[in-house]
Copies of this chain bind each other. A is one copy, B any other.
Amino acid sequence: MDGEKKSAGILAMDIYFPSTCVQQEELEVYYGVSRGKYTIGLGQDCMAFCTELEDVVSMSLTVVKSLLEKYQIDPRQIGRLEVGTETIIDKSKSIKTWLMQIFEVYAEGPARPTGGAAAIAMLIGPNAPISFESKFRGTHMSHAYDFYKPNLASEYPVVDGKLSQICYLMALDSCYKHFCNKNENFEGKQFSIFDADYFVFHSPYNKLVQKSFARLYFNDFLRNSSCIEEAAREKLEPFLNLSGDESYQSRELEKASQQVAKHLYDAKVQPSTLIPKQVGNMYTASLYASFASLLHNKHSTLGGQRVVMFSYGSGLSSTMFSFKIQDGQHPFSLSNIVNVMNISQKLELRHVFPTEKFAETMKLMERRYGAKDFVTSKDTSLLYPGTFYLTQVDSLYRRYYAKKGADDTTVIHANRSFVNGH
């Protein structure tokens, strides 16, 4: 993919999330918490999870294979492969190396229990319908212990929930400040949230996205943006002199800013919240699953519009950047991307587990975590066709995968080697 590099960005994408999920309101009952704690407090509707048949490798195999097939991309056209994940299976062996099996087709053709699970594949190239406005990037990184996984033998993280939220909002403030400065330097006028059509956030739970957009609104107020209406200005006035720390902790500010920003949230943010609310926390895939939701909901009207993206990883590393949308030619048109992702049908075809069965599955997964010498269930009836799944972990911890499907049941062997030359 040499040649001209104008309008580099996303040419094509596909998304995968497990076909197995559990309802958040049933989890509230099962765990005996107050009604609304997960559905309103976190703003989440449903949560996807992996059974013993799936993991980060199988989901990556599934979505990459699907992307290549559905857009009829010749693997030899791919110049560079990047894999981003937070969930590791091997401390040394790269997930890229498992994916090499897909790039072998020249000739022949559960992640974590609490949270959610999904994988996104994207093709990046020139003349893209979804192009990076790279001059407007704002970045913030710092050293924090907000969410981390130091116990290597456990699949669960150490989380400081309150710190985690403050870190996220501080990073957001900082990125937005840099992003605004860059915009103002280039455009010669003040930037505000009115200068973008949509805002898409990394979404550990929906409530944080609501708070985040309100926080951007509060930032515009503090920056004396002329776009903030008088009525809103009056409601936010009492919080003008809060210190930074105080402002992150103030429930009153949170409430007031969400209230005045609500109509803008509905227009500029809500269309991107579908998958995160239905699937849960997807970690590395979260931001792009939100973006996929926006495409799904608004693709016919996105031409010429600007989408601001906020990427966040605990620890912490964050960036705010923007896309300019200009519809492309088939197969890289927005409508084709939406057809390929087929989000409605994927959501409809899911199997909602009763909570007891979900809890049982999670117990099995805990025992299986880091284990060796076992085979998984032969029953793959719950998987979508075309899904890769784990069949066995042998006595040397080597993992074996197969692909569900009538025509192309493929067993992936360990140590199968091939050439991928560029």
**Which residues does A use to contact B, with CB under 8 Å?**
86-94, 96-98, 100-101, 103, 137-153, 157-158, 163, 167, 170, 174, 177-178, 313-317, 370, 372, 396-398, 412, 414-422
Distance between A97 CB and nearest chain B CB, rounded to angstroms: 4
CB <8 Å contact, B421 and A89 = no
A149 to B93, CA, bound (A): 7
CB <8 Å contact, B91 and A421 = no
Q: A140-B421, A370-B151 are in contact. Are A145 and B396 (CB under 8 A)?
A: yes
CB <8 Å contact, A92 and B148 = yes
- 14 new A-B pairs (CB below 8 Å) besides A143-B415, A163-B415? A91-B150, A92-B147, A93-B145, A93-B150, A93-B314, A98-B143, A100-B143, A103-B141, A141-B420, A142-B417, A142-B419, A150-B372, A150-B397, A153-B370
List 27 A-B residue pairs with CB atoms under 8 Å apart, sorted by A's residue number: A86-B91, A88-B88, A89-B150, A91-B150, A91-B152, A92-B148, A92-B157, A93-B314, A94-B313, A94-B315, A94-B317, A97-B142, A97-B317, A100-B141, A103-B141, A138-B421, A140-B420, A142-B418, A143-B416, A144-B415, A145-B414, A146-B415, A148-B397, A150-B370, A151-B397, A152-B153, A153-B153
Distance between A337 CB and nearest chain B CB, rounded to angstroms: 27
Hey, which chain B residues are within 8 Å of A137, CB to CB? 422
CB <8 Å contact, B91 and A158 = no
A138 to B11, CA, bound (A): 26
Hey, which chain B residues are within 8 Å of A88, CB to CB? 88, 91, 152
Q: A416-B143, A422-B178 are in contact. Are A92 and B315 (CB under 8 A)?
A: yes
Query: Which single residue of chain B is at the shortest CB-CB distance from A146?
Result: B415
A138 to B420, CA, bound (A): 9
Hey, which chain B residues are within 8 Å of A140, CB to CB? 419-421
CB <8 Å contact, B92 and A139 = no
Query: Which single residue of chain B is at the shortest CB-CB distance from A147?
Result: B92
Hey, which chain B residues are within 8 Å of A417, CB to CB? 142-144, 167, 170
A94 to B157, CA, bound (A): 14
A329 to B174, CA, bound (A): 37
Q: A94-B315, A149-B90, A372-B150 are in contact. Are A158 and B396 (CB under 8 A)?
A: yes
Hey, which chain B residues are within 8 Å of A416, CB to CB? 142-143
CB <8 Å contact, A419 and B174 = yes
A139 to B76, CA, bound (A): 13
Hey, which chain B residues are within 8 Å of A418, CB to CB? 142
Query: Which single residue of chain B is at the shortest CB-CB distance from A175?
Result: B421
Hey, which chain B residues are within 8 Å of A139, CB to CB? 420-422
Query: Which single residue of chain B is at the shortest CB-CB distance from A144?
Result: B415
CB <8 Å contact, B145 and A415 = yes
Hey, which chain B residues are within 8 Å of A370, CB to CB? 150-153
CB <8 Å contact, A96 and B153 = no
Hey, which chain B residues are within 8 Å of A415, CB to CB? 143-146, 163
A174 to B422, CA, bound (A): 11
Distance between A5 CB and nearest chain B CB, rounded to angstroms: 13
Hey, which chain B residues are within 8 Å of A396, CB to CB? 145, 158
A316 to B417, CA, bound (A): 9
A101 to B151, CA, bound (A): 23
Hey, which chain B residues are within 8 Å of A174, CB to CB? 419, 421
A89 to B152, CA, bound (A): 8
Distance between A305 CB and nearest chain B CB, rounded to angstroms: 25
A416 to B397, CA, bound (A): 39
CB <8 Å contact, A148 and B93 = yes
A178 to B148, CA, bound (A): 41
Hey, which chain B residues are within 8 Å of A100, CB to CB? 141-143
